[in-house]
Structure 1
Amino acid sequence: MISGHIAIVGCGLVGRAWAIVFARAGREVRLFDAAPGAAEAARRQIERDLASLAQQGLIDRPEPILARIAIAATLAQALDGAAYAQENVFERLDIKKAVFAEIDRVIGSGTIVGSSSSGIPASAFTEGLRSQARYLVAHPVNPPYLIPVVELVPAPWTAPETVAEIRALMEAVGQVPVEMSREIEGFILNRLQAVLLMEAWRLVEEGYASAEDVDRTVSHGLGMRWAFMGPFETIDLNAPGGVADYARRLGPLYQRIAASRAQHKVWDEPLIAKVEAQRRAKLPADRLAERGEWRDRRLMALAIHKREAEREDEARAARDGGKAAP
């Protein structure tokens, strides 16, 4: 695995969560943010987040983890000798371009840089840069210390060994990398989410269901299975003969559903206002942060449960002579 510290460039919500991922796994971390005081504020919030993780039993002691997180005064200081840098600046192309141009001016020959971009491909902000072969998208789901999937998306000029090294690094620090062979806007996660959201908005817009009941359908239905398996494994287990049997049985239904949505409407202001009113009736705006903390506690509980389930599966596989758990 590549050696050296990890640089965190941009210390907002995503950046400080990445810092926890790497420091928790034993890596030295340097925080940098161009905004005065932002890195210091991020480290204070990281201390609070680590205390929550310890309280839930997801880490033993926060102090050694926090001790591995230092603040860099400049970008050059953060990158000096770094094995890997995780960029987390605002999701806007002009800002990404400016930050990567600055990174490119000071980066050393051994540093790889991943962007937390949610949908902008790396080719849009790394073309023509001196070290473009060592740049790619490494997009997390926030917070990555609780939700481990990381989308690795190379630009056309990203070197294959760059992707391989970052995949190995992500696995070593406890993340679950998924690798795309080439770029597409939105990558995997947001393209899947986009399709679900499109239909969710339409069902509310056309009066078939409320926003709350659409949410309940996912949280108490689809999401129960999706916490442990993806859509292909789900349908593979939902027909006696597996995925091919499922496709033959229900394929015509899904084809009719797809055909009924020939036009993909943009979420317009009246529809946004309708859903906003339903959500604020359910959750006042001044309680959004409180509900976000509730979400994170639920994610912690789920992370503990999944960790225990994985250990049981590994033990069962060992008893069965190395065969995969059913």
Structure 2
Amino acid sequence: MQEKKVDSKPILLLGSGGLSYSIAVCLLHAGHDIHVCTPDAEAAKTAIALYLSEMSEEVPCSGQITFLQVLSSNIFYEGAMAITEEDADSKKRTVAMIENYLLPDAFIAINTESIGLDAVQAAAKHPERVIGLNWTEPAHTTRFLEIIKNSCTSSAVYQRVEALSMQWSKDAYTVENFGVRSRLLSALIREASYLVENGYASVEDIDRACRNDAGYYLPFAGNFRYMDLMGTYAYGMVMKDLNPDLSTETSLPGFFKAIVEEGALGIENGRGFYSYTQDEAAYWRNMFREYSYQIEKVIDKYPFNYKQNGTHS
């Protein structure tokens, strides 16, 4: 990993934590020079160096990196990415701050899972250059990228981000104003939580059901393709009978609410749906990183759009 102190047109990345650090690695391997603005530069350096050390030497890292804790008024960026908490005011403040450090044709890409892009754009001087970009961790091994645009989004900004997504080795898709990934996941979590709360299944049962069924086919085909493979009509009949019985709860179930109120952060502090010692937490982190490289190779072997010889080639 090369550190670079001066760059005429780097990309700015604001954020902290594993997702932000893995995005940095993704950008470095795509050849971008980046400035990472984060409150804990040492943690960022350590994590990014670890990710880079685990990657194949066959994939050279040509980008250079600078770590910042405050932004300089002497540097203007060709693009900026921000990973923020899921709060509309926080996102709007971040966008307003970033705008002071951008070149005229620069883009601002910000994560937004449950908040409409129009709400994030509301306080921007140039809302047309603000676009939604949702990643998944680890960003440097996964193919996921959700691009969110709307009628306000500049076509030039959208086309540029779409082109960049291919440089980042992403199989990106585009949606209008709202992200869909979290909505799909939330629907599954709501039903799973309902089943646990009402004694139909345990947390372990739910995990086994998801891992050993959907976990097998989702790296090969999405839900709709899988229904085609297994029998579209049959799935339609099942959903017709099952839909009326699915959960429509609008609040967290009791057991989930208790976990949240206790401040359980999962692996980070050893408490979540499962409990973890420090050694167990380290084990799961290491295994997950190892798995992310293995599943990347499997997914690339069976590309989504096989008629075009893959979407990432």
Alignment TM-score > 0.5, same fold: yes
2:235 to 250, 257, 274: 250
Alpha-carbon deviation of 1:218?
Answer: 1.1
Whichever structure has more helix as a proportion of its residues is: 1
Deviations 1:221-241 (Å, cap 9, x if unpaired)? Answer: 1111001211111111112xx
| Moved segments of 4+, more than 6 Å | none
Is 1:6 the counterpart of 2:11? The answer is: yes
Q: Does the CA-based 8 Å contact 1:9-1:75 persist in structure 2? A: no
Which one-letter code corresponds to 1:250 in the other structure? Y
- In structure 2, the residue corresponding to 1:235 is in which secondary structure? helix
Give the alignment of 1:17-56 within 5 angstroms. 17-33=22-38, 35=39, 38-53=40-55
Report the CA distance between 1:214 and its aligned residue.
1.0
Task: State TM-score, norm by structure 1.
Answer: 0.79
Question: What displacement does 1:220 show?
Answer: 1.3
Distance 1:201 1:284, change over 3 A: same
SS at match of 1:295: helix
C-alpha distance in 1 between matches for 2:131 and 2:207: 34
Checking the alignment, whether the CA contact within 8 Å between 1:140 and 1:148 is kept in structure 2 is no
CA contact (8 A) 2:95 2:108 kept: no
2:310 and 2:298 map into 1 onto residues whose CA distance is: 22
Q: Deviations over 1:13-49 (max 9, x none)?
A: 222111101101111111112x2xx234312220011
Q: CA 1:79 to 1:267, structure 2 compared with 1: closer, same or farther past 3 Å?
A: farther
Q: Which residue type is aligned with residue 102 of structure 2?
A: I
Separation in structure 2 between the aligned mates of residue 261 and residue 237 of structure 1, nearest angstrom: 24
Q: Which runs of 5+ in 2 are unaligned?
A: 1-7, 265-270
What is the aligned partner in structure 2 of residue 167 from structure 1?
Answer: 162
Instruction: Give the structure-2-normalised TM-score.
Output: 0.82
Whole-Å Cα distance in 2 between the matches of residues 140 and 285 of structure 1?
A: 28
Aligned pairs, how many?
Answer: 295
Quote the Cα distance in structure 2 between the aligned partners of 1:264 and 1:183: 25
Name the SS of the counterpart of 2:295 in structure 1. Answer: helix
Q: Displacement, 1:115?
A: 0.4
> Which ranges in structure 1 are unaligned for 5 or more consecutive residues?
240-245
Aligned to 1:236, the other structure's residue is in SS state helix
Aligned to 1:203: 195
Deviations 1:162-195 (A, max 9, x none): 1121011111221121101x223xx111111111
Contact 1:121 1:155 in 2 (8 A): no
- Maintained 8 Å contact 1:11/1:31: no
Q: 1:211 to 1:76 in 2, by over 3 A?
A: same
Question: 1:78, CA displacement in angstroms?
Answer: 9.0
Distance 1:263 1:173 in 2: 38
**Is the 2:24–2:34 Cα contact (8 Å) retained in structure 1?**
yes
1:255 aligned partner, one-letter code = K
The alignment status of 1:307 with 2:300, answered yes or no, reads yes
User: How does 1:231-246 map onto structure 2 within 5 Å?
Assistant: 231-239=223-231, 246=232
Q: Which amino acid aligns with 1:294?
A: M
1:71 and 2:74 correspond: no
| TM-aligned CA deviation for residue 280 of structure 1 | 6.4
Structure 1 window deviating more from structure 2 (87-96 vs 227-236): it is 87-96
Q: 2:78–2:103: 8 Å Cα contact kept in structure 1?
A: no
User: What is the root-mean-square deviation in Å for CA atoms of aligned residues?
Assistant: 3.1
Match of 2:5 in 1: none
CA distance in 2, matches of 1:268, 1:13: 28
**For residue 255 of structure 2, what is the aligned residue in structure 1?**
270
Output the amino acid matched with 1:47. Answer: A
Contact 1:79–1:108 (Cα < 8 Å) also in 2: no
The alpha-carbon distance between structure 1 residues 305 and 107, as it changes in their structure 2 partners (threshold 3 A), is same
CA contact (8 A) 2:194 2:253 kept: no
Of stretches 197-206 and 82-91 in structure 1, the one that deviates more from structure 2 is: 82-91
Query: Contact 1:84/1:111 (CA < 8 Å) preserved in 2?
Result: yes
Identity %: 20
